[in-house]
């Protein structure tokens, strides 16, 4: 069995951490799909309020997407910023 150097271990743990950070994209995807479905149902019930419903839905989705973007930023940092080099 070979010995693993400290740099190899850090690189491996960075890759694992980046994969775990990308799990943060699952929640916004589910939430945005649910919000879009509820908005479509609301427009079906009250077509006159389409613009209000759409703008509220898009604002909510933009706020929800920030968690996914933070996870992506963390994953990119873990993959491409090499500490201790």
pLDDT digit string (tens) for 19-55? 999 998 898 889 889 989 999 999 999 999 999 999 9
Return the domain boundaries, the chain: 6-79
pLDDT digit string (tens) for 46-58? 999 999 999 999 9
Give the model's confidence band at 12: pLDDT under 50 very low, under 70 low, under 90 confident, else very high: confident
pLDDT recorded at residue 43: 92
CA 41 to chain CA centroid, Å, is: 25
Asked whether residue 82 carries a pLDDT value surpassing 90, the answer given is no
Backbone φ, ψ for residue 57 (5° rounding):
-65, -45
Determine how many CB atoms are found less than 10 A away from the CB of residue 55.
10
Domain 6-79 matching CATH 1.20.20.10: the answer reads: yes
For the chain, what percent of residues have pLDDT higher than 70? 95
- What mean pLDDT value characterizes the chain? 88
What residues contact 42, with CB distance under 8 A and at least 6 apart? 49, 53
- Does residue 49 contact residue 85 with C-beta atoms inside 8 Å? no
């Amino acid at each position: 069995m070979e010995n693993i150097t400290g740099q190899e271990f850090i690189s491996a743990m960075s890759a694992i951490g980046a994969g775990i950070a990308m799990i943060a994209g699952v929640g916004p995807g589910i939430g945005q799909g649910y919000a879009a479905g509820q908005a479509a149902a609301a427009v079906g019930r009250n077509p006159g309020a389409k613009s209000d419903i759409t703008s509220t839905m898009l604002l909510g989705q933009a706020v929800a997407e920030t968690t996914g973007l933070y996870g992506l930023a963390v994953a990119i940092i873990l993959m491409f910023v090499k500490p201790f080099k």
